[in-house]
Amino acid sequence: AQTVTQSQPEMSVQEAETVTLSCTYDTSENNYYLFWYKQPPSRQMILVIRQEAYKQQNATENRFSVNFQKAAKSFSLKISDSQLGDTAMYFCAFMKPRGVTGGGNKLTFGTGTQLKVEL
């Protein structure tokens, strides 16, 4: 079974600064997907960024980028130019695609990192 670990329960950052959230995972799979979801106080789960394991290039979405280290099984999220609206719980998640033997296509989540952006 896959496991996802987020070792930072809480973090804070000053507005306009850069912050990095850590995530490690454990799997024996070679083909998989990794995601970061954001959950603001409204509790809505919002996809921030995704990464396919077969792609060496790190994914980026505007101010959000990842550092994907496949051998180290590490998937950190960098938020640049932090904004007050970035205050949220951030979840790292792992997915093994469904194969011919079934299973898969399920997200396994870490326990989350609560990020607070301060003035």
Judged by the rule CB under 8 A, the positions of this chain that interact with another protein are 33, 35, 37, 43-45, 47, 50, 52, 91, 95, 97-98, 102-103, 105-112
Considering beta carbons, is residue 82 or 113 the nearer one to another protein? 113
- Report the nearest approach of another protein to the CB of residue 54 (Å): 12
Considering beta carbons, is residue 106 or 116 the nearer one to another protein? 106
Q: Give the bridge partners for 34, in sequence order.
A: 51, 94
Considering beta carbons, is residue 83 or 111 the nearer one to another protein? 111
| Three-state DSSP class for residue 92 | strand
What's the DSSP call for residue 112?
Answer: -
- Report the nearest approach of another protein to the CB of residue 80 (Å): 23
- Report the nearest approach of another protein to the CB of residue 102 (Å): 8
Q: Provide the 10 A C-beta neighbour count for residue 68.
A: 20
Tokens matching residue 96: 């093994």
Considering beta carbons, is residue 50 or 70 the nearer one to another protein? 50
